[in-house]
């Protein structure tokens, strides 16, 4: 098991390219199961979640080659329909096989999902959508078993008690593209990753309209075809890299990103006081001497993303004054806070709020990552801290960030990966 050793206090500066979106490419990979033949997916991040999804596809019968951020996925005429516990427990996104296999085969046996331990994330909306399309759903011995003689399009409302669901929208959309007739999904998630999957499905021959809106209309088709497609930039990786320059008092020119997907994050950086220059596919950020505390409400897109909450908690811990971050998506997503306290942060948790009183400096310390974005938050804090930090369990960060230590070293960071 690897860990990071980071010597903090270096102002990061330089130029980087953003990687492709992890949260887009995982369902896009699975969507290739809806047809036979070879699809080509470009701008794929080289992260552990992608490697894990390759194993899922291979288990189901596909042949996959991954080189230089490009995936070649060759799907045979016959594929399996079982996603075992050993796969799904390691990565929650494995559950996307449900939508694609229901669309292709009318049946799937999928283990209930695992993934990051950041709170309850039920799949009730996924199952509701499948039932609306005509599936019979049973839960047996930890597996979802779905059977459908004929998928039929239907109008449905897919929003839950906590708002829209990215996973449910994508999963139901993948099944609905092969349903007979018209499906209308109201309360659809509008995250860029949902739109990216919809556009990939359309490139395969699907007929989806209303993309980027909360109402998706899907006219079912009998057949889909292999496609070539390039994944959108990863807005969360991009935001994390911008914060790495911000928290160390440095500057960064980030290229090959999509600023239009990052309005909420960029607006908060401006509000805090950082200087930003935004182009069509690049962002320049520079630190400022005068920084102000802010309040952040975490909500579904286009509002501030839950996947950037932890990184901003680290950043705001060094901004003079009191900031309040309200997490309205996941109830257990402050697990980075006890580790930040070990580094000298002054943060109080009150229900779903982190009340952050800025301190003058953080001090290096041994800390332990609990999930993907908490890992990023601890790396950011360590980059800014005085002295040396040791971050354990960095396998979490490898799930979603491509060679993050190499990118940070390009900016001057003193970070190395060592075996424990």
All structural domains of the chain with their residue ranges: 2-16+292-419, 22-219
**Active-site residue flag, 116:** yes
Rg (CA), the chain: 21
| Residue ranges at the known binding site | 22-23, 92, 121-125, 307, 329
pLDDT for the residue 56: 94
Please, are residues 16 and 411 in contact by the beta-carbon 8 Å criterion? yes
Nearest CA to 28 out of 100, 76, 80 is that of 100
The secondary element (H helix, E strand) that includes residue 74 is strand 70-75
pLDDT for the residue 118: 37
Please, are residues 274 and 287 in contact by the beta-carbon 8 Å criterion? yes
116, 135, 148, 257: which is the annotated catalytic residue? 116
Distance between CA atoms of residues 261 and 272, nearest Å: 19
| Residue ranges at the known binding site for UDP-N-acetyl-alpha-D-glucosamine | 92, 121-125, 307, 329
Please, are residues 330 and 121 in contact by the beta-carbon 8 Å criterion? yes
| Residue ranges at the known binding site for phosphoenolpyruvate | 22-23
Give the CATH number of domain 22-219: 3.65.10.10
Contacting residues for 141 by C-beta, under 8 A, at least 6 apart: none
Contacting residues for 2 by C-beta, under 8 A, at least 6 apart: 394, 395, 417, 418, 419, 420
> Tens of pLDDT along the chain (420 residues)?
899 999 999 999 999 999 999 999 999 999 999 999 999 999 999 999 999 999 999 999 999 999 999 999 999 999 999 988 888 777 878 889 999 999 999 999 998 765 444 344 578 899 999 999 999 999 888 888 999 999 999 999 999 887 899 999 999 999 999 999 999 999 999 999 999 999 999 999 999 999 999 999 999 999 999 999 999 999 999 999 999 999 999 999 999 999 999 999 999 999 999 999 999 999 999 999 899 999 999 999 999 999 999 999 999 999 999 999 999 988 778 999 999 999 999 999 999 999 999 999 999 999 999 999 999 999 999 999 999 999 999 999 999 999 999 999 999 999 999 998
pLDDT for the residue 121: 52
pLDDT for the residue 114: 52
Max CA separation in the chain (angstroms): 64
DSSP string, 116-150: --SS----HHHHHHHHHTT-EEEEETTEEEEE-SS
Structure tokens at 366: 């041994």
Q: Distance from first CA to last CA of the chain, Å, rounded?
A: 6
Please, are residues 412 and 14 in contact by the beta-carbon 8 Å criterion? yes
pTM of the model: 0.96
CATH fold match for the domains 2-16+292-419 and 22-219: yes
Structure tokens at 131: 């039932």
- Is the preceding peptide bond at 346 cis, omega within 30 degrees of 0? no
The secondary element (H helix, E strand) that includes residue 367 is strand 366-368
Alpha helices in 120-274 (DSSP H): 124-132, 166-176, 192-203, 235-247, 263-272
Distance between CA atoms of residues 48 and 290, nearest Å: 39
Please, are residues 368 and 393 in contact by the beta-carbon 8 Å criterion? yes
Contacting residues for 212 by C-beta, under 8 A, at least 6 apart: 190, 195
Distance between CA atoms of residues 233 and 230, nearest Å: 9
* β-strands 143-147, 136-140 pairing: antiparallel
Residue whose structure tokens are 């906590």: 162
Give the CATH number of domain 2-16+292-419: 3.65.10.10
Distance between CA atoms of residues 57 and 30, nearest Å: 7
């Amino acid at each position: 098991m690897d860990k990071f050793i980071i010597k903090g206090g270096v102002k990061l500066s330089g130029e980087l390219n953003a990687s492709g979106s992890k949260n887009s490419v995982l369902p896009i990979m699975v969507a290739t199961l809806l047809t036979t033949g070879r699809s080509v997916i470009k701008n794929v991040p080289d992260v552990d979640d992608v490697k894990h999804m390759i194993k899922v596809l291979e288990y189901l019968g596909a042949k996959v080659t991954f080189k230089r951020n490009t995936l070649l996925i060759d799907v045979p005429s016959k594929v399996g329909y079982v996603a075992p516990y050993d796969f799904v427990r390691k990565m929650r996104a494995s559950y996307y096989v449900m939508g694609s296999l229901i669309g292709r085969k009318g049946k799937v046996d999928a283990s209930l999902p695992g993934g990051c331990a950041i709170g309850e994330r039920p799949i009730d909306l996924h199952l509701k959508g499948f039932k609306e399309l005509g599936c019979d759903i049973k839960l047996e011995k930890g597996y979802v078993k779905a059977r459908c003689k004929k998928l039929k399009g239907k109008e449905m409302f897919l929003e839950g008690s906590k708002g829209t669901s990215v996973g449910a929208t994508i999963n139901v959309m993948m099944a609905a593209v092969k349903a007979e007739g018209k499906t209308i999904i109201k309360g659809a998630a509008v995250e860029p990753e949902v739109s990216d999957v919809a556009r990939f499905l359309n490139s395969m021959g699907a007929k989806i309209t209303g993309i980027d809106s909360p109402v998706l209309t899907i006219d079912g088709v009998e057949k889909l075809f292999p496609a070539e497609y390039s994944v959108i930039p990863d807005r969360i990786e991009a935001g994390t890299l911008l914060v790495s320059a911000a928290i160390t008092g440095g500057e960064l020119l980030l290229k090959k990103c999509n600023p239009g997907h990052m309005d909420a994050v960029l607006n908060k950086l401006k509000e805090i006081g950082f200087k930003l220059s935004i182009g069509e596919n690049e962002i320049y950020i520079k630190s400022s001497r005068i920084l102000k505390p802010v309040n952040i409400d975490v909500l579904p897109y286009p509002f501030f993303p839950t996947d950037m909450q932890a990184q901003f908690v680290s950043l705001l811990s060094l901004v003079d004054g009191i900031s309040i971050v309200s997490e309205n998506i996941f109830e257990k997503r402050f697990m980075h806070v006890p580790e930040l306290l070990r580094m000298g942060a002054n943060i109080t948790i009150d229900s779903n709020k982190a009340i952050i009183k800025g301190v003058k400096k953080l001090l290096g310390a041994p800390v332990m990552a609990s999930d993907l974005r908490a890992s990023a938050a601890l790396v950011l804090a360590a980059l800014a801290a005085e002295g040396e930090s040791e971050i354990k369990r960095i396998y979490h960060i490898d799930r979603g960030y491509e060679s993050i230590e190499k990118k940070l070293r390009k900016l001057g960071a003193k970070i190395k990966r060592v075996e424990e």
